[in-house]
Structure 1
């Protein structure tokens, strides 16, 4: 699925407000929903999506990893928590919400692959990580690509 041109961001929306907003957006035809761990509304977003009746494969769901979960020992567990709250077995896009403010986490730590199977290389700024995560683990679409690459590998 391509990323829809329009989507709903849920920053600062909580509880019944976020549920009503997500449901209204989906009724209007929105198919991209953006949330984040730090927004503390993933569970309400998941509830709204579940109650909307819109099939999961018609949605593009984005969430973001908060800084306290950037380390290798917390990343996967935090994504699993997000999936549970969102009531889905995958998200379409996972972003690092705020990469290492004040260099609290070394760049080598969060540019490396979460499971340690791939290394960023000598210059981490040349790389980005595409990660599709589901309940059965990081899938084979997880790979490193040069940031200026024209074609997916």
Structure 2
């Protein structure tokens, strides 16, 4: 039973997402392709790299990357080609510039704003320390004596 579970886990592994017919003959170019596809996001499988995904679009992206490398593009040119085609969403680690800067800063700003509002609200909620009226004191005495 253990062997069966181990075999099924091994077969379900995403390590075999890159098919043998995709692999480039030149090991240096293949290493570059793997380096690039490891940091590209599959547009179907959220937060999974193109290198690990078995989706059809991930295969197409892997093939596009390899085509660009064979055509002589540098890693940066290949990455820029993919960003131009799919947008910055394709990057697993998005840049911290442009419109993404708003997203990077929004979380900490909202957290600090929330903490500030909570602190002000708690500071304003001071308990009232007005003395009890004669009627209230009499009622309290009756309750305590019961």
Common topology (TM > 0.5) = no
Which has the larger share of helix? 2
| Richer in strand (by share) | 1
TM-score (norm 2): 0.22
